[in-house]
Amino acid sequence: MQEQNNNKQLASNHEDEIDLIQLAKTLWAGRRTVIKTTLIFMVLGLFIALFSAKEYTASTTMVPQSAEGGSKLGGSLGGLAAMAGINLGSMGGGSTIPPTLYPKIIASVPFQKEMMKTPLTIAEQKGKVTFQDYYLEIAKPGLFGYIKKYTIGLPGVIIKAIRGEDQRSLSGVEGNDHLLTISQDDKELMELLSSQLSLEVNDKDGYVSISARMPEARPAAEMVQRAQVLLQEAITDFKIKKAKDQLIFVEERYAEKKEAFTAAQNKLARFRDQNKNVSTAMAQTQMERLQSEFSMASSVYTELAKQLETQKIQVKEDTPVFTIIEPVAVPLDKSKPKRPMILIIWTFLGGVVGVGMVFGKQFLGSVKEQWQA
């Protein structure tokens, strides 16, 4: 019995060796196909590597900190909460935008419309050019851009030509209802901007990274700088909105009471000048009444002055602080295309396709023989 099992195992191993030898023979017989396919893919990869558009990536990293001690909470309890799977990032401040919503801010229409107005320093241009004007009037899509436009994007080009420019311009007209409207150009630019501008939130370490890709190095850094400023302004405005509204209210009341205080003070001074030597009861009563009005106006004015200073301090305290860990810098090296990697990938893909063609041809031949039999 044991001898039979050993014989079966030897036979199985022998069959596996025969199969491997047969596979090797098949691969050697189809070596020309593998080599030709690999060379074709290598040339195609070289073509793509040489004619792919250049891109430069700039980035910045910052840590948003609230004035209410949110960072202290994150330092003392954040680690334990993270181990337990609990996120305390949005529990620090009552009216603070949590970092997880920052991507929603940069994807909003008002934010992107402001980003499209970013002035950029473009080579061979005398002055600053906005992001919108650059991609509508200056930038060229390149070889692959034209290929994509007139192959995959050809239906869209035809539809735009049929609709004409009237439809494009009417969609951008602002209405009287103060609703946000965008034109077809704006829509295309926003899609392009969304693909070039990105924001990453690291909940564990509590930092936010903003990056932008552009065909030139300096415009990439300018886009990141503008996005950082707009994001900070949006977060700050939301955070201190209530305190600023209260400050405006106190300032208005303060200005009103200041006028009332000055008027009461001047009225009392004039009465005293006009009645220096008068000691009648009527004059004395009038003097007391004016003095009372002045004292009341002075008391209210003084209290509002204190509240005004307190509210200014409150606005400062509520203003969030952003610690810049990695400032924006103009990139020196391009991020795309990575030509050696493109060539290696396409060469490897060509080899895989060539081997697949050889074995696929053999498989189809065996199936055909079985079908004929």
Structure token pair of residue 247: 């400050």
pLDDT band of 61, cuts 50, 70, 90? very high
Structure token pair of residue 99: 């970092």
Residue 258 has pLDDT above 90, yes or no: no
pLDDT band of 144, cuts 50, 70, 90? very low
Tell me how long the chain is: 373
pLDDT in tens, 62-89: 988 754 444 433 444 344 334 334 344 4
List the domain boundaries for the chain.
52-240+323-341, 245-317
Contact 318/17 with Cβ under 8 angstroms? Answer: no
Whole-model pTM over 0.85: no
Overall average pLDDT of the 322-351 stretch? 83
Lowest-confidence region among 44-48, 99-103, 152-156, 203-207: 152-156
Average pLDDT, the chain: 75
Percent of the chain with pLDDT over 70: 73
Chain Cα centroid distance, residue 338: 24
Q: What pLDDT, on the 0 to 100 scale, is given for residue 9?
A: 53
Q: What pLDDT, on the 0 to 100 scale, is given for residue 89?
A: 44
* Bridge-based pairing state of the strands 56-65 and 321-326: antiparallel
pLDDT band of 159, cuts 50, 70, 90? low
The whole-angstrom separation of Cα 373 and Cα 362 is: 17
Overall average pLDDT of the 181-206 stretch? 87
The whole-angstrom separation of Cα 273 and Cα 358 is: 115
pLDDT in tens, 207-226: 899 999 988 889 899 999 99
Overall average pLDDT of the 241-270 stretch? 84
pLDDT band of 252, cuts 50, 70, 90? confident
